[in-house]
Amino acid sequence: MRQNLAPFPATRLRRTRRSASIRALCQENTLSVNDLIWPMFVVEGSGVRQPVASMPGVERLSIDLLVDAAREAADLGIPAICIFPYTDPALKTDCCREAWSADNLSNRAIAAVKNAVPEVAVMTDIALDPYNAQGHDGIVKDGVILNDETVDALVKMALAQANAGADILGPSDMMDGRIGAMRAALESEGHKDVAILSYSAKYASAFYGPFRDAVGASGALKGDKKTYQMNPANSDEAMRLVERDLTEGADMVMVKPGLPYLDICRRVKTEFGVPTYAYQVSGEYAMIMAATDNGWIDGDAVMLESLMAFRRAGCDGVLTYFAPRVARALNG
């Protein structure tokens, strides 16, 4: 409830801003290393680093170097990483069977990290686009993305990742009914403690381009994803999707992209009061880095300010490619 303020000069709001110490006492939100999830890209090979041209400072790493990066996360205090695979194009098919292979690149990476750095939580991505010859998050037939057939495939993918040791599953596909199907399968197969962080409000955004470069999905994609990802003009629909995923067994929910959708983050947190996350996506990262590299902005200051915006909007944490850089800044 807003309080009535005494008129000026009895009230001088600048009094609480006049020194760093007083500003600290009055600060409403904080950003800590505990709020970070570090997305990482994994590629086949050993000792392999492949820079992602559209994401300065981000690299695809072979599993051995990914494990080293996970150790770095632990040393910095970052609580979780999220693994995305760059799949060999020869393994991409219309049926996407590589997605649930126990020995696929993503599952081997999960197992390697959990074996070497068990204290770091491993989050995964559940969607078929890294394995789909047509670049979509779902199985395609005659140009139509099939919902129920895709859900069957996603359940197999979820179980394979849980078997590999994943702590948090991140369904990013936006198919109807997938959370309930995954939760039932996980319970049935003894994975009752595996958490689901659902991409509940994932928009059909133009901010994903660099990410698709990073996972090798850009060239394969035919058409767009507007029949399953959300219309950027809609807000109430996001609330229905979040509510549905929670009733089906999601433990946490995510809004994606991040900064352009802070209003959705705030609505989710206010209306549901559940653990709420946002993804500061590749396009957001690339724009900040491009402006930084051109000397147009103070990159570190904008990085921290942008992440504080998520906390101010009610987010409990953020997936961000800035995670190690932010952790170093926060750790001094």
Radius of gyration of the chain (CA): 21
66 — phi, psi (to 5°)? -65, -40
According to the model, what pLDDT value does residue 219 have?
67
According to the model, what pLDDT value does residue 35 have?
98
What's the first-to-final CA gap in the chain, in angstroms? 37
Residue 56, preceding bond cis, omega within 30 degrees? Answer: no
Specify if 296 maps to a domain.
no
Specify if 119 maps to a domain.
yes
Specify if 303 maps to a domain.
no
pTM: 0.95
Specify if 110 maps to a domain.
yes
Q: Is residue 174 classed as helix, strand or coil in its secondary structure?
A: coil
Specify if 300 maps to a domain.
no
Degrees, nearest 5: CA angle 274-127-220? 140
Rounded Cα distance, 86 and 129, in Å: 10
According to the model, what pLDDT value does residue 102 have?
97
Active site residues: 202, 256
Q: Please give the structure tokens belonging to residue 223.
A: 């058409």
Burial readout 228-262 (b: 16 or more C-beta within 10 A, e: otherwise): bbbeeeeeeebbebbebbbebbbbbbbbbbbbebb
pLDDT in tens, the chain (332 residues): 677 889 999 999 999 999 999 999 999 999 999 999 999 999 999 999 999 999 999 999 999 999 999 999 999 999 999 999 999 999 999 999 999 999 999 999 999 999 999 999 999 999 999 999 998 999 999 999 999 999 999 999 999 999 999 999 999 999 999 999 999 999 999 999 999 999 999 999 999 988 877 887 666 777 899 999 999 999 999 999 999 999 999 999 999 999 999 999 999 999 999 999 999 999 999 999 999 999 999 999 999 999 999 999 999 999 999 999 999 999 98
In single-letter form, the type of residue at position 225 comes to K
Q: Domain containing 188 — which CATH number?
A: 3.20.20.70
Give the count of domains, the chain. Answer: 1
Specify if 267 maps to a domain.
no
Specify if 11 maps to a domain.
no
Specify if 139 maps to a domain.
yes
Whole domain around residue 147: which residue ranges? 31-252
Q: Please give the structure tokens belonging to residue 161.
A: 């990742």
